[in-house]
Structure formats: C-alpha cells, structure tokens
Structure 1
Amino acid sequence: MRRGVCKSHLSLAFTRRVDLRGRAAGSRPHPRLPACAAPSMQMNRLRLPASPVCVSHNTLRAYPLLGPLHASDRPGQGTGLMQMSDMQMRTGCARVRFPERSLERGWWEAAARMSRKRRAAEAEGAGLALELRWEWQDPGGTWHRFVPEQSEVLTQAARAGKPSVAVGSRVDLRRMVQRDGQTRQDRCVAAAVQDQDSYAVDDDGGSEPSSVPGSSSPQRPPAPKRLQEVGASPNPRAGGESTEVVKTLIVKGKAPVDPECLAKLGKAHVYCEGDDVYDVMLNQTNLQFNNNKFYVLQLLEDDGPRSYSVWTRWGRVGRPGQHALVSCAGDLTQAKQIFTKKFLDKTKNHWAERGNFQKVPGKYDLLHMDSRPPAAEPSCTGAPQPKPASRLDPRVQALLGLICDLQAMEEMVLEMKYDTKKAPLGKLTVEQIRAGFQSLQKVEAVLRAGDTGRALLEACNEFYTRVPHDFGLRTPPLIRTWQELQEKVQLLEALGEIQIAVKLARLELHGQEHPLDRSYRTLGCELCPLERDSAHFQVLERYLLSTHAPTHRDYSMELLEAFTLRRAGEPPFRASLPNRTLLWHGSRLGNWVGILSQGLRVAPPEAPVTGYMFGKGIYFADMSSKSANYCFASRQRDVGLLLLCEVALGECQELLEANAEAGELPPGKHSTKGLGKLAPAPANTIVLEGAAVPLGPAVETGVRNPHGYTLNYNEFVVYEPGQVRMRYLLQVRFSFAPLW
C-alpha cells in the first residue's frame, strides 16, 4: 500500500490465523508489511475494525509496540493497549476484541498526545503500571531479550518521556531502533506488555463475553491501564490517601460464589448435584513462557426464579484477571454443556471422569479444593445475646489467640509466595499437598542427576501448577539449590499444619461456648501455666538463656510464659530407652495448632529426602537459639513459641556432615546426632523429672570435620514419634538489635 492511498478501512477479520507479513491460508492476498516499524516504513497508519481479529506473532514484530492504538480521528477515544501474553506472542494467534481505532507507528508519540486530564482519570481508575519486556532483533530476524538491568533502564526512560537512552548502544525510543556498535547498523527494538491481568483475551483463542447477555447488571469492566509516572504512587487519591478494597465472600450451599462475580453475588449459588459441586479452580505454570495463570469455572443457579449461568475468570496468579458470565436462562442442560466443554477444553479431561484426572502437557491442572464452608457461628434473632465468658486461664486464652490467628497464618504463607487468593488457607486438600510433595520429589531427582535443563523446568512447572504461587509479573524462579528445595518443603509442611487448624476451626460450638474454649477443646491438649516463681519456671528460663548460641546475637530472648502440656492420644513413650534428654524444637506460629493437636510427626513418604539434613525425622537441638531461629520471628511479630520435649535418644549414631539417608539406622542405634563445634558443657547438666537438662553456656567440643564443613551446634534426630514426649511450651519475646 503506497502512502497517501485513500482507503477508509482495511479489514483483517479473518477466521484463521493471519500473518500480516505473508499470506493467510484460505484467505485473499493482503498487503505485505515491513519486518519492523522503522521511520522508512511506507505504511504509517492501519485502520482496524470493531469486529474481533486474529493477530499473529508476526504482527507484533512488524509493529514492535502493538499497543499504539490511537483514535485521533474519533472524538472521545483515547489511547489504549492491546496486550498479549508471552505464550500467545510466541506460539501463534490470540483472538482480541477492541473498538475501531488506528494503529500508530510510535507508541510513545501516541502516549504523548494524551491529555493530562485523561492521564489523571486513567490513573485514578487503574493506578497500576504496565510491566514491559524489552527485546532487540539481530540481522537474521531472531529476537533477543535485554538483560533485566537494561530493561529497567529502558522502562524508566520511556516513563520519563526521554527520546533516547544509552544501554550499551543508544536506543532511540521514538523510532524504536538501536545502533549496533560494531556494524553501525540500526536494529529493531521491541517492548512487549506483560501486564497479564488485563488481557481482553481468552487464552484458548476463543472469544468470551464480558457481560451477562440480557442482564441489567453488567460486570465491572476492566479499568484502563497506563504506564505509571515515575515516582507516582499506585491509585493516587486527593490528599495522598489510599483506599482498601474489602471483598465479601457469601457462602451458600457447598461452595462460595466467586467474589469477583458481582452480577450474581448474593443472588445465586454454585449448582450442586449430590456430591458433585460445579466449582473448579485450575492452574497452569510454564516458566519458559512466564505463564503463571489460573482459571475459575462455576455453574451458578439463581436463588429466585430458576435460571442458570456459567461464570469463568482467568488471568495471572495474584491478579483479578478477565471474566465472562454466560446466561442460559432456565436451560440447565445447556449450562452443563457449556461448563463441561470448557472443562474439557482447558484440561483435556472429561468432567465425568475427573476422579481419575490426568494432567496433560500444555493444559491446566485441577486443584483439589475442599469446598466445605467454615462452621457457622451460632446466630440469633432479635436482641444480640451477650458473649459467653471463657472458662480458661487468661494466659491460656492469650496463647490460643496467638496460635489460632488465621490472618497470621495467611501472612506466614504469603511471605513464602503462596497464593491464598486462588487456594485459600484450609481449602487446599491433603491430596493436593501430597501432590506438591510428589512434584518436589521430581525436582530432587533432577537436582541429584545434575540436570538443570528441560527436566528441571518441567518439574518446577508441575510444582508451581499444583501449589499456586504469587510472583506478581516476575517469572516463577527455578528451584535450583537444595536450600530452595528445603524452603518449598517447609511451605508444604506449613500448609499441612494450617489445614489441620482450619479443619478444627470448622467444628461446631457446644451450646453457649466461647470460641477460645472450643479451640482449646479441639486441641486435645492440656495446657497448665507455670508460675514465674516456681522452680520449674526458673529452670526453664535458665535453660533458655544459657543456651543462646554466640553466633545468634542479632536478637535476645525473654521468657514470657511457660506451660506444662499433656497431649491426649500421644503414642506410648519408649521410656525404657536410655539417654532421655530435654531438647528444643521451634516452629512458626501457624504450625502450632497442628503440632499440639497431632504431635510432632515424621515427614510423609512423598516428601523429598534431600530437604532434610539427616533424613526424614523429628529434629531437636540442645541450644535454644538454634531452634528459635525456626520460629521466624520479626520486629513486627516478635513473639514465638518453643517446645521442650523429653526425647529418648538411646544410642546415637554420630555424624560429622549431612546424610539424607541417616534415617536407615545401623543395628543398635536409635537416633542420629550431628556433632557440632559448640555444645553445653556436660558438667552443667541437671536432671528434671527423669530427663537430662543440658544447661549452658556452650563450650568448644573439639569436633572438626576433616572432609569439609563442621556443624556449629549439635543436631538430634529421632525417626519414631514414640521416642518423643512433649513436656513444656515456652512463650518467648524476641528483641532484635537496632539496625543502626
């Protein structure tokens, strides 16, 4: 097409994939476009129709910023962005819906035309910044990514409106080219939008309605997004105030309606037939394409006149994503057909056979979720009834409030990048947690084989698919080291403990029972506070403070409360074994409901062996701060819990270095002791109710590993729960040293 040719409209609404640089199979010829948008390109503007079009990967390369949608010839139309995922850019075409607009050559030029008023309005409506991935094209036509540091420089320069910036060679941001320092030739530069929660794209290529057909309650449209100004805060308000969005979860029947489904919230419920709940959460992670996405699928039945609809929502994990609501009026058969077809399209599994679900490569995986609602608190009509008083000691009440705090549990796993929006606490079933452990076993096998290529990529993909993680717009990281593997093992262990806590929270109250009394009853564990002036309290405090290791001086500890404990249903203790010692065990606050109600347990068979220094067992220390480190206390949450257990060590096999197979004890041995350089002096050991208490301070043991690293402190491991009897629970405050 020559410049200046009068053509009011160029239709690209093909039903098959379109390559704008060649010919589409089965379609008429169309203009050939240049390989990249350079100043010499003959076609400066391309009019696009309002109907859906298929845009191929080549189109994005022909126009490096295929977001330059400018409507200067249509009053009231501003600049918008058509956004595609990395997967869609690489592997083909996505079906996109957008109004009739013009395609500008330079996105920054189009953005500059936006009025400040328009920018402010969009900022208030969205308040989110687009993330860009920058690439350059070599002479052979292959595209390469800029390193992250260079991408950040380019993004900041673009946001600041700079015409060019130097990243090795200077990049002209208006022409979107970079001068090669060796050949002195210009090469194309591209910026791909990665903000995947606002795609107007259904990732299977099909179009999705964005509102309810025939409904007077349209869904909330996605807010327009723009590049955030440098230094601007998200969602700015007058006076610098920020607002907090509170979402309501309404539970009817066996599963809650997705809170993002505003048109049906409080007006419908998830359709059920017996034990079949038409509620699905799917997840898929592909690290090679930076895909970390979810898919929600629900069949909804109105509370009033019988009417059915199918709700879908999809996007990047941690973001609301896009949605669609398809009304089926009173036709339940049609609604089921839409639901089951969508399930088949996304998973390649039949809905009726989901009990034998098999993950298909390139398709979504089914998350096994517990759809049971939490136990309802007793409600009353008329005047509110006074809250019954607790019968517990105030110190026990405070302890229960500390360990039964579901918000604290959520914050704990959020720190570990777990996504509580897609798989809320307690909703991830034991089966799904077990599947996560199985995936980590595959990661372990790959790491042992020294394979850091495709096998590791696929193993990590499987793990992140089964256990949703929120990494924002960043690519989920590969699990490359044993330390990273151990962190994921700890996450799954924490999720298992939290699952127990949420399960206990579902139990109903007994009559006029205080909620804390219910929590105490369901623990099945007797807790009795010790008086501060008692002999037992004094011994425990001395043991805590005297065994604070010299290498852990970034914090100090103060004993707030101490409790004796006796757990019902504990396995018979092997008191006949010698060498019974009172040893420390620390854990995060969110784990204690599970520990106190179920006891200390050995890791499940599905867990990778490598995540444990001396094999799968129950770990203890004779230095209080070594165990206290596993409380993961902070300046914001400065209270933790330490457990003192009577451990029947028997005869120990002594090791100088890590051995994941240490659980296979040699004959005559009952436990493992990892020997450390420092340990409590044997001369200071006392006996408390038949158990040795190794009081500090620590002294040099003379232990050295001639083959490598030597442990700083002793580590004790038993492999049978019957060798452990929980005796004391200590509530400790951590005081951290000043930062400066």
Structure 2
Amino acid sequence: MDIDLPYRSEYAKSGRASCKMCKCSIAQGSLRLAALVQSAFHDGKQPMWFHENCFFKKQRPGSVGDIENFENIRFEDQERIKLKIEKSLEVSSSTSTSTSTKKGNKRSAGEGNAIKDFGIEYAKSSRAACRGCEQKILKDQVRIRKTVYTTEVGMKYGGQPLWHHVECFAQLRGELGWLSKGDCIPGFKSLKKDDQTVILKLLPAIDANSGSIIKKAKIEPDVKVEEEIINKQIEKQSKRLFKLRDLVAEQMHKKDMIHLLEYNNQEPASGDSEKMLNQLSDMLTFGSLLPCPECKGREILFSKSGYLCNGQLTEWTKCSNLLIDPERKPCKVPKILKEKYNFLTEIKNKTEKRIVKYNPPSIAVVSKNIDLKKEESTEPKVKRERPPLYNFKFAYVGPKDAEKDLKSRLNKLGGEITTKLSENTVAVFSSKYEVEHMGSRMKKAKELGIHVIPIDYLDLVENSPTNAINYISSTTLCDWGTDPTSRIVQEDVNTKKSKSIYTKSVAKSVTLKIKDGSAVDPDSGLQNVAHVYLNKNDKYSVVLGLTDIQRNKNSYYKLQLLESDSKNKYWVFRSWGRIGTTIGDHKLENFENLNEARQSFLHVYRDKTGNEFNNRDGFVKVPGRMYPIEIDYEEQKTVDSEKFKIESKLHVSVQSLIKLLFDVDAMKRTMMLFDLDMEKMPLGKLSQKQIQSAYKVLSEIYDLIQQNANKVKFIDATNRFYTLIPHSFGVQNPPILDNIDLVEKHRQVLDSLLEIECAYSMLQAENNEKNVNPLDNHYEQLKTKLEPIDKKSDEYKLLEKYVQNTHAETHKMYQLEIIDIFKVARQGETRRYKPFKKLENRKLLWHGSRLTNFAGILSHGLKIAPPEAPVTGYMFGKGIYFADMVSKSANYCCTTTQDSTGLMLLSEVALGNMLECTSAKYITKLPSNKHSTIGRGRTMPDPKESYKKDDGVEIPLGKPITDTNLKTSLLYNEYIVYDVAQVNIQYLFRMNFKYNI
C-alpha cells in the first residue's frame, strides 16, 4: 500500500497489552485501537494501544480511512468508530461570546474534545515559531494554539501544540478548522481588553454554509440510496463472516487452520494469528482464491480497497498486486475436519463476491505521504514582513527601572534583551556615563567589539525600520565596535519545521580505529582493547543493508566477532537501526571461548541474510533478508599538524591549491550533499565493485524508463541501488528512481564518488617522510607538474581574455574572477597525445567539474564513463565533453554562494574531422572518417577573432556571435572526443564565482 496509515484497529490477541492512557489491561478479544509510531529502537513502526474510549481522548483520526485493518473489524464496530471520528472533529460554529455554554445547551463530548485542541495565550518565551509565517513568536505576543495529532510528536505523545500569530491564524482558520468567533477560543478571557478587541476583529464567526470555507461535499439523494444499499450488503456479509470467524477462533487448533488453508492451495498468513484468522474466515465465507496472476503467490489478503497479494515479485520486491474482484473457487473441507468441527459441514460449495467499500485516508494523512523533500523547499503558508530587529540580541547596562520599558519596546520591534554578552550580541543599550566608568560588563563589550548605543536608537528604528543595522554604527557611544551584521544570528536554512526528532542529533561522520585492516565499531566500547577476529582471509565483520520502499525501510545491521588484544576473551557485537537517524540499538555478548562466539556470529549472519557466512562469495539475495555492503577498511593515516610547519618546496599558490584538492572536509560535505550516509559508508571505504554494481542498476533503470515499465520494476531497481549505495533519508521513504533526471543525478553521484575515492586513496598511500611538508607529499601523489603563470605575462592576459570574452549572456547569475592560472603537465600525457598532434583541427577548450573531482582528474586524466554507467546525461554518447564558452563549462563546477571556489581546465583537444550534429544523437561509434563530434550551437565565439598559436592550436577567444539562421536545439557549441588520448590538459584555472545576489 502506498499510503503509510497512522492508526490500526484489531481485536486484542491476548490480555497482556495495557492502554497507553489509563494504563489498564485491554481484555482479550475486545476492540483496541493503536497509534502507529516510529520505534526508537528499530527501523519500523510500533503500536501504542488504547481502549476504544481512551483512544479518542488522545488521538484525532481524520477519517476511518486513516485506520489500518479497519475493514477487518465487525460492521457494528465500524459504524460506531465512524460516528466517534465525526464527532471528535466537530468544532462549534455558533457565535456565542463565551467558551462556556448555558444550562441545557451542553456541547457533545466530541465537540468538547475538538474545542480543547485550540487555545489562546501570551507567549511565555520567544522559542516557538509560527506555523504560518515560520517566524518566531516573540515573548508576550498573543499566540493561538492548534493541537495536531498527525505529526511525529503528536502521534507519539497524544497531540502536538502548533502555535500561530493571531494574524496568521486568521488567514489559515479554514484549513485549521476554526469557524467560531475569536471569543470562543479557550483562554480568551485571560487576555487584556485591547487584545480581546483585536481578536474579535480578526476572527469573526464564519457561516459553515457560506463560501468562506471549504464545505463538506453534499451527497446527492441517488448516491445516498446507493450507499445505504452497499452498507446493508456489507453488514449482511460481515455478520456471516464473523459468525464463522468466532467459531474458528473458539474451536479450531492452529495446525488445523493451516491444514484447511493449504488444502485449498492458500499460503497461510505468517507472523500474525489475526491475519490467518481473517484469511480463513474470508475463504470459508466467499471461497478460496486462485493464485496471483502476477507472481503466482498464494497469500492474498483482504485489505482496504481489495485483495492484496503478499507474495514476492523478485528477491528484492514484494508483489503488492491489488485485486478488486479476484477469481475464486468453492472452498473444500476435508472429511477429517468436518468430523472434528461440526460447523464446517455447513460450508457451501459455491463462491461469492465480497463487497468492497473504499474509505480514503484523510487529506492530512495523504499530504504527509507526499514527497516531503518538495515540501521542505516551499515558501511559508503566510507571507509576513519581519520586524526590523528580528533575531537581534541586545544587552542592557544601566538602571533597572528603565529596563522593563526597553524590553517592551524591543519586543514590538522583534528584538530581545539577553543577560549574557557574547559574539551574538548585536549592541549594548547604555549611556555615555557607563562607557566612561567602564564596569566589568562594559569591559567585556569592548573585548568582544560590541557597540554601545543609547535607548534613543529605538526612536530612529521606529521611524525608519530599514536602516536598523546602520543606526547602530551611527549612534554608537564608544570608540570600538566591529561590523554589527556579523553578530546577527543567522537562521539555519537546513533546519526545517518538519525535521524529525530522530535526525536532529545524528553524527555526520565517525572516526574509526583500524586494526589489521578492520575497524572495531566504536559503539562496542572495545576499540582500544579488542580487534576483529581474523581466520586466514576471513574477517568476521560485516555491514548489512536493506532498502525496501514498499515497507518504508532503510535499514542497516552491523555484526562483528571481536577478540581481545591481550586475553583469551571473545565478544559478538551487533548494532542495527535506520540509516541517517538515531533510530536503532546495539548489543554486546560475552563468550567463554572462540567456538561459542563464532557459532553465535554464524547464526546471526544466517538469520539476517538467509545465507551461510562461509558461502558469502556466492551470496544469493533472499526475499525480505539483508544484503552485504562491501567496505574496504584501510589504516587511516593522520598527519601531524607540526609537519605543516616544515618549509614547503612548492610555490605559495600551489600550496593553496593542493590544500583545496585534498580537503577531506570538502569531500565529506560533497558526500552529504548527495544524501550519502557517512557513518555506514565512511569516506574512501566503499569498494569499486560495489560502485560498479550501482552503475549497472542505474543503467537498468534507464532501460526501464525507455520501456515505460510498471512501478514495481522501478521499486525493485531502486531498492537495489539504495542498498548498494547507502543513502540517508531520515525517516522519510526513499524516493523511487523513475525518471531521467534522478538517474542522471545519481550517475553524477557515482562519478564524484569514484573521484573522491581516488583522492582519498592517494592520501592514504602516502609515505609520511620525517622532514617533508605533507602538502609536498600530496603534490607528489598527483604525478603532475603545476606551475603558476605570472599575472603580468602575455600568456596570462591571453587566457584572461578567453574568460572575459566567452561568458554567455544566459549565464549572468554569476561573474568569474580568476584567482590563479597554472600551467599543467601530466606525467605521460604528452607522449600519449603525440600521435594526435598531427591532426589539423586542434583547439584549446574548456572543461568544468566538481572541485572534489580534480585530484582524481589530475592524477589519472579526464576519463570516459565506464561501460556499466547509464547512457543518460550524454547527449552525444559516452565521451569527454568540452566547450568554447567558459560559462557553459563553469556550470558543471557546481559551486554555491557558500562554496564559491571552482576549478576549470583548458585542454588541447585534437578534434580532426568533426561529425556535426544540431540535436541529440547518441554516438556509440564514429564513422571511419571522423575523429570527434560537435554539437553545433546557435551562439559561439567569433571565428574571426580566434587566436592561432605557433603550433597551430586555435584559441577561440572571440566575442560571442549568434547565427539566427542556424536550425539547432543547442544554445552553445559542445565538442566530444571518444578517445582519452585526444586530450592534453594545458591549464588549470582557480576561479571565484561571484554570485549576483
């Protein structure tokens, strides 16, 4: 089922469970309702069970469609639950001027519960954010509460209060379900008279029948009659079914239930006695089901909208085929069971169609299941201008009697007074007298460079709010002070209101201690006293993974057999959970000897994978079980910071470049940008084999897109890809890879991952010589000569002109500033290029790529995508792509306003005879008389202004001209070669991308 439902109903299997509200036990066989919440200890949901009446005091389902297994409870129970849900959602639309009602006019219990979900008060602090405009609600401002039950916190704790500014609440009242006057909100009477007047003005009563709010759809008479007929049919079938169900539950042994199902070629539902009971009673009432036409599975269970196949389509994916009216045959009862259970003699030798009435989930539940990645990037629901001093933190030094009025004025302007002076204090309110006397707090302000300003500053801000920051410098009372803008607290754009409680404190990466090529998991607490047990070539340490989109699972499982470094002692360590979250747990078991520990390790591996550890080289994926992730652990080398003080032989600009190329933090940032999991897949550890397998899966997805394949096949391939390359999605369901853009994005991820792996491997392969600066060691690893070009030289000016002239008009969101240009000579590349030097058509062309890719590019040269990589993203086939417009290649540097440094190459490219194309054409092999491809663009550097070098190489540095008569789908030229030997890297540019914001 695509929708993840938040609630569940069933009849209690035993009397062991207790109600989460009243704490009393729930009697066996009685109806119980659960809120399905994320477990903190495993990758899955756990039910919080309630008595029926207790449930509605803590939870608010939007409809019966929000309740899992609702269709499998008795008809009379369904009707009663439906009525309770409708009542629990009612809010009075009366225009009463009081929240209390007159005698004899009491609200219903449901209405009373619903009105308790609202409240109004003065904000106790400035911590809460408005759910309308997403700005802070400042202390002492009036705020309105709506308690919700569908959020992660609301589900777990029986409601989460969401606060709103009064103005924002007024704009969203239809969505929030408040129709009454403002004075009906609990807490209204505690407000000041002036505030009450404002509330009444902003929140008049709304007529439920007017067009002011979304009305409940009116049911036409014919539809109503038809619905009543269907309900009567369902009621009749339900009574017959539950009569048999009760007899089965009371009389039949489990083994006989299984026997009867198997006798009718049905696969008994596993793991849940209630499911098997439902399955058997359905078969006895309506007939046995024929195997699924998709997967031939025989476990087909009645669900919300039909019969859902629970079989396996592949080892990675469940079938999930939905059958509205499945084929049946009469149920057959063996003679031995008829003799044993008298009621089975009454089973009729015929089939019957089961009536299905689909109850859709509520809008809130459907919205929650929609791709939340998109939701995170949307604008606030309400547009509200920020107060001029929003996020400004001030301090006050002076007489206490003036502080109260100051706080009140500041609050209205969005600022606040804090007692502690820090680097986030924008300014100190005080007087000339306090500055001259220089008390301890004033000395601290001077030490931190905080301006001291008079209270009159607020008059200026009130008159001219836009100049608030400038007035700090112009009204300062002291002779010190740094830039006040640097002290304003910046909101983290990545911290969204929807962020899960299970992802807020996740470690971004872990430091691993390597012993004998393996890392002891730090959670074991044994990394300093034990090592991974090694038997010949067998390392008893595995990381398992499983992504299952249909069940919203993105799980990991780590298993290690640990041996003491000094004593004859052994442990088996296990940890499990959901990738990229705090969800999970671990266990450490102590063993007397190696044999017991080894047997435990082998048993757990077999249980989790369905494979024997000794046969893991021939691993076969088993449905529902986990898959091994290949990780190469090597000794992580650390560099003594003192060695950086050793004088380097490199030019200063080359030193700076090398720091950039081998910046491990930048590599980690790039991996996290791709949503890659840094804990389960530490930097430099994922094996080449695993990455190549992932390329193949992406190629398969590309083929599925071309074939217009069904959704299940995309789910199958996506499960495999995310299992091979662990991604962090928090608690959200991993997105299905079902379009070209996503395939291309993840292809680029794998490309970058290979380059990052290459750079990191170089760092680990270095010999840390005693008297050599580490930067010199890094440089040697590149096997490339890098020589900075004098900025006053003619060569530099010529290349600078190439940059200035060929910045395209459509790429004006940034300007390119050259920081340095380096002459490049890669070891062996000139010799490799020599045969192509004879070709006539040779040009100096641009190539851009992510900064983290360049250590790999300089060490092994520009590469062509591997055969297993998907063809997506390659307009003219797999080759090396170049441009004659600098900004076209610059776009591939993937810089941002925060990371604005990019690297670009100028390479001599032997183009020879070019195959000319004006639209996409996938080239697998060039014609015999062609050496390269050109995608002809409408705009190009003016050929008349090109510069020809003495060796015949053309530098197309002319200003852009546009051929309006050329019929082409390309804006700019693209040049593609299909042999790496046709490229000779000449220059490396270090650029600053100056974004126009």
TM-score of the aligned structures, taking structure 2 as reference length: 0.54
Structure 1 pair 512–84 and aligned structure 2 pair: CA distance change class (3 A) = closer
C-alpha contact 1:45 1:103 (8 A) present in aligned 2: no
Tell me, in whole angstroms, the C-alpha distance in 1 between the residues paired with 2:696 and 2:619. Answer: 16
Question: Is 1:726–2:727 an aligned residue pair?
Answer: no
Q: Could you tell me which residue of structure 2 aligns to residue 239 of structure 1?
A: none
Asked whether 1:701 is paired with 2:953, we answer no
Residue 572 (1) aligns with residue 832 (2): yes
**1:502 aligned partner, one-letter code:** Y
Q: Does 2:514 correspond to 1:255?
A: no
Distance 1:232 1:258, change over 3 A: same
Distance 1:553 1:23, change over 3 A: closer
Q: Which residue of 2 aligns with 1:238?
A: none
- Residue 203 of structure 2 corresponds to which residue in structure 1? none
Q: Which residue of 2 aligns with 1:341?
A: 603
Bigger drift between 367-376 and 713-722 goes to: 367-376
Q: Which residue of 1 aligns with 2:920?
A: 658
Q: Cα 1:108–1:322, aligned 2, differ >3 Å: closer, same or farther?
A: farther
Cα distance, 1:481 vs structure 2: 2.1
2:572 match: 310
Deviations 1:91-133 (A, max 9, x none): xxx8x9x9xx987864685699xxxxxxxxxxxxxxxxxxxx9
- CA apart distance, 1:412: 1.1
Counterparts of 1:682 and 1:386, CA distance in 2: 48
Query: How many angstroms apart in 2 are the aligned matches of 1:713 and 1:152?
Result: 53
Partners of 1:731 and 1:23 lie apart in 2 by 68
Deviations 1:661-715 (A, max 9, x none): x13212211111111111101001102353110013211123644xxx7111111
Structure 1 range deviating more: 668-677 or 506-515: 506-515
Cα distance in 2, alignment partners of residues 48 and 644 from structure 1: 74
The residue aligned with 1:283 is 545
Compared with structure 1, are the counterparts of its residues 107 and 509 closer, same or farther at alpha carbon in structure 2 (3 Å cutoff)? farther
User: Aligned to 2:620, what secondary structure does the other structure show?
Assistant: coil
* 1:220-369 → structure 2 map (5 Å cutoff): 248-261=511-524, 263-369=525-631
Instruction: Tell me by how many angstroms 1:627 deviates.
Output: 0.5
Q: Residues 577 and 665 of structure 1: is their aligned pair in 2 closer, same or farther, counting only changes over 3 Å? A: same
Aligned pairs (5 A) from 1:77-92? none
Q: Which residue of 2 aligns with 1:47?
A: 25
Give the equivalent residue in structure 2 for 1:463: 721
Aligned length: 596
Paired position in structure 2 for 1:482: 740
Aligned 8 A contact 1:560 1:731 in 2: yes
How do 1:77-116 and structure 2 match up within 5 A?
A: 106=54, 109=57
Greater RCO (Cα-Cα under 8 Å, separation 6 or more): 1
Shift of 1:135: 2.7
> Structure 1 residue 473 and structure 2 residue 731: aligned?
yes
Structure 1 CA distance for aligned equivalents of residues 868 and 915 of structure 2:
25
What are the superposed Cα offsets for residues 591-645 of structure 1, whole Å, 9 maximum, x if unpaired?
0010000000111111011231111110101110011011111111111100000
- Structure 1 residue 512 corresponds to structure 2 residue 774: no
Query: What is the one-letter code of the residue matched to 1:358?
Result: V
Contact 1:663 1:719 (8 Å CA) reproduced? no
CA distance in 2, matches of 1:152, 1:722: 63
Change (3 A) 1:244 1:470: closer
Q: The residue matched to 1:506 in structure 2 has which SS?
A: helix
- The amino acid of 2:832's aligned partner reads P
Deviations 1:545-587 (A, max 9, x none): 1110100000001111001111113261111222100000001
1:374-453 matched pairs, under 5 angstroms: 374-377=636-639, 387-453=645-711
Distance 1:109 1:271, change over 3 A: farther
**Equivalent residue letter for 1:550:** E
Q: Which runs of 5+ in 1 are unaligned?
A: 1-18, 25-29, 38-42, 50-54, 68-80, 113-132, 144-148, 172-177, 195-229, 236-241
Residues 411-445 of structure 1 deviation map (CA, whole Å, 9 limit, x = unaligned): 11211211122111210111111011011111011
Q: Which residue in 1 is equivalent to 2:868?
A: 606
User: Contact 1:704–1:710 at 8 Å: present in 2 too?
Assistant: no
Q: 1:299 to 1:165 in 2, by over 3 A?
A: farther
Verify: 1:592 aligned to 2:592, yes or no.
Answer: no
1:528 is aligned to 2:787:
yes
CA apart distance, 1:716? 0.8
- Give the whole-Å Cα distance in 1 for the aligned partners of 2:824 and 2:645: 28
The one-letter amino acid of 1:576's match is K
Comparing 496-505 with 314-323, which one deviates more in the overlay?
314-323
Kindly state the Cα deviation for residue 253 of structure 1 after the two structures are TM-superposed: 2.8
Contact kept? 2:148, 2:162, Cα under 8 Å = no
Give the counterpart letter for 1:135 in structure 2: D
Matched AA of 2:938 = K
**Residue 648 of structure 2 corresponds to residue 678 of structure 1:** no
Q: 1:63 maps to which residue?
A: 33
**RMSD value over aligned CA atoms?**
4.2
Contact 2:755 2:855 in 1 (8 A): yes
Give yes or no for the alignment of 1:547 onto 2:806: yes
Give distance in 1, aligned partners of 2:840 and 2:514: 54
Residues 510 and 334 of structure 1, relative CA distance in 2, 3 Å threshold: same
Give the deviation of 1:389 after TM superposition: 1.8
Quote the Cα distance in structure 1 between the aligned partners of 2:940 and 2:673.
Answer: 32
65 and 374 in structure 1: CA distance in 2 versus 1, 3 angstrom threshold: same
Partner residue, 2:969: 710
Alignment CA distance shift 1:278-1:440 (3 Å) = same
The structure-2 alpha-carbon separation of the partners of 1:639 and 1:105, relative to structure 1 and needing over 3 Å to count, comes to: farther
Structure with a larger share of its residues in helix: 2
Counterparts in 2 of 1:448 and 1:557: CA distance versus 1, 3 Å: same
The structure with more radius of gyration: 2
* Residues 32, 342 of structure 1: alpha-carbon distance in 2 compared, 3 angstrom cutoff: closer
Q: Is the 8 A contact 2:9 2:68 kept in 1?
A: no
C-alpha contact 1:640 1:732 (8 A) present in aligned 2: yes
SS in 2 for 1:610: coil
8 Å CA contact retained: 1:557, 1:735: yes
CA drift of 1:267 comes to 2.7
Query: Is the contact made by 1:439 and 1:459 (CA closer than 8 Å) also made in structure 2?
Result: yes
1:624 to 2:886 alignment: yes
Matches within 5 A, 1:111-260: 135-136=66-67, 140=71, 154-155=150-151, 158-160=159-161, 182=219, 248-260=511-523
SS at match of 1:572: helix
Deviation readout 1:258-317 (Å, 9 max, x if unpaired)? 2233x3242322222233222211111111221111111111122342211111111111
Deviation, 1:231, is 7.3
Q: Is the 8 A contact 1:312 1:325 kept in 2?
A: yes
- Tell me the amino acid that sits aligned with residue 554 of structure 1: M
Q: 1:611 to 1:267 in 2, by over 3 A?
A: same
Equivalents in 1 of 2:509, 2:921: separation in Å? 49
Instruction: Confirm or deny: 8 A CA contact 2:791 2:797 kept in the other structure.
Output: yes
Shift, 1:541, TM fit = 0.8
| Shift, 1:82, TM fit | 5.8
Aligned partner of 1:540: which letter? L
Q: 1:622 & 1:642 partners in 2: Cα distance?
A: 13
The answer to whether residue 585 in structure 2 is matched with residue 615 in structure 1 is no
Is the alpha carbon distance of 1:689 and 1:336 closer, same or farther for their aligned partners in structure 2, counting shifts above 3 Å? farther
Q: Distance between the aligned counterparts of 1:134 and 1:295, measured in 2? A: 34
Once the two structures are overlaid, the 10-residue window that deviates more, 718-727 or 283-292, is 283-292
C-alpha distance in structure 2 between counterparts of 1:459 and 1:564, whole Å: 45
CA deviation profile, 1:470-514 (whole Å, cap 9, x unmatched): 111111112222222111111000010011111111122234221
